Chains A and B, each alone.
Chain A
Amino acid sequence: MAPAQTADEPTAGAGNRERLFAAINRADAYLQVLGLGWLTPLFRMAAGDSPRHQGKALWQLLGVPLVAILLFLAAWGALAPKVQTSLGAVPGPAQVWDQVGTLWQAHKDERAKAEAFFERQEVRNAARLADDPTADVRLRPYTGKPTYLDQIWTSLQTVFMGFMVATLIAVPLGIASGLSKTVSAALNPIVQIFKPVSPLAWLPIVTMIVSAVYVSDSPMFSKSFINSAITVTLCSLWPTLINTAVGVASIDKDLINVGRVLQLSWTKTVFKLVLPSSLPFIFTGMRLSLGVGWMVLIAAEMLAQNPGLGKFVWDEFQNGSSASLARIMVAVFTIGIIGFLLDRVMLALQAAVTFSTNR
């Protein structure tokens, strides 16, 4: 490793070493964002910093969380078997881990079935063509049940769709209401009333309207996807809108005045002054929105039986088999971990885009 070598030469390497530590410190900022802050003490140790000093930092950043997780698992494993439900004892960590394996195996089995399905279809299509060369043969998509991984993918697509639409609506509205007191006054009551509405209340309305309006013979998206995505949009709109408005309204007045003096056009004002200086706020809003959207999505999928992780949870609850509780817990962890990762991705994006203004 290069850092270790440089540390061997104290005289000539002093400058190098300083540069190395500076690099580590710079990297630390990114690592923190990615949730990998515990790597820094390891790097520092590798670069020759005192192991005692860095060991303490490592313990804080890595050891304590690990111990906490182990304690949590131990408590869970010890307490779970004591709670008897009608589906048997509450599963402990081992049973839940087992189900991860089962779900993965089910995914592979389903893929094999899909392959067989396409083979049979090709045979059938070939037969039809042989019978009638003008026959309209197409390869139909697989009709089997979506696996756990498919459900995760569906949920991710839905949440991003809903979140993007929400952002596209919320940011312009937020800017308008931040720039103009009139617009702000007009929007405020609507925001206040709709912000606290639960997805479960939106869903019936959305479902009815989409069913009535979205009529097409060859729809690009399925209705269930549109329903879930719009519900996510309606619920995740508000944090971005409010934060954008606040961000825009709190821009340094001098900056706006400079713009006036330079006689910048309206578009230039928005894109060169307003947007850059309110970006940190906008991103904070978007981060909150994505978090809300993810929570909302699961609830919407459970209620409306739209494909995704929520449906998986509900189906398992309805199955009532001895493995159901463990499978639901797998879903709970998946939802939690994905939610955490989404948040980190947004944070990283925020750090990347707003670097100059934030630091």
Chain B
Amino acid sequence: MSPEDWRKQKRDITVMISLGLLIVMAFVLSMNTGFIRLSPLDTLRTLFGGGTAKEELILFDFRLPRIVISVLIGAGLAVSGCIMQGISRNALADPGILGINAGAGLVVLLFVAIYPTTEAAPVFMLPILAWIGAGLTAALIFSLSYKRHKGLLPTRLLLTGIAVAAGISAATIVLTLRISPEKYQFVATWMAGSIWGTNWNFVLALLPFIAVLLPFVFCKARMMNVLNLGEANAIALGARVSREQIVLLMAAVGLAGSCVAVSGGIGFVGLIGPHVARRLVGPKHQVLLPTSALTGSLMVIVADMLGRLILQPSEIPVGIIVAIIGAPYFLYLLARPSS
């Protein structure tokens, strides 16, 4: 290993460790903030079992699951976006813009509209349903933007994605008007991108997907580097391009779908997480993928915390905060001469 590589590796590790530390800090801060404030000392005391019953209830039953979910969906969405940007070789791809979130959301919404209550049994069903919705949407978009001999056409992918997203939101509007006002409030909050599943069941429902898919994708990092060279080069290097693309895409869809089931339509994390990560560590997927996961988690924790802080006592859904920060960043990326 040349000294330069060595320096680069050291830098990457520093970046990841500092991101990790930032997440821990945000984690602790986030535990303190909310309608009822707990001081850092109280939080620590409660964490180690010395708190009052009320403090324990707030921390263990409300805040902690929510923060853990923020970390998970942030990582899931950002890695999903990173895969999509890699496969389509388009820096502006993301599950939200491509309409995959919307597809997952529509299926979940259908279920909520039909199912009598919004709680109880369906928790474990939701990620699977969202999976199905996301998968169908992705299949539709990719079949429309795939051309034989040329592979995926990145431009067409984006345009198709935007159109499909518009169609799905039209269907969603039809559906939301049919449901009762109580369900509507729930669905509207959910669609705006709110972490609504604030109990451990949701963590358990989401965790297997993240825990299986993230390591799997990390193992595929080398393959993604190869795919990034373009279809022809990748084939020349002996990669089975179509198969790898489909496998990776399924992983991306799985991640996005299961995250959307608990968090609703949080857009832009999948776009901005990987972008910031690429600025920090460069384009090699071995480091880019884990760094994306970290930046995504950090973004969602901070956005969720801000959402609870800004308009107390009511909450702003994370998705809205992320869009308000994310959309200008997206526009900035678009306006940059090089992109």
Judge: A and B partners, yes or no.
Answer: no
Binding site for B on A (CB under 8 A): none
Binding site for A on B (CB under 8 A): none
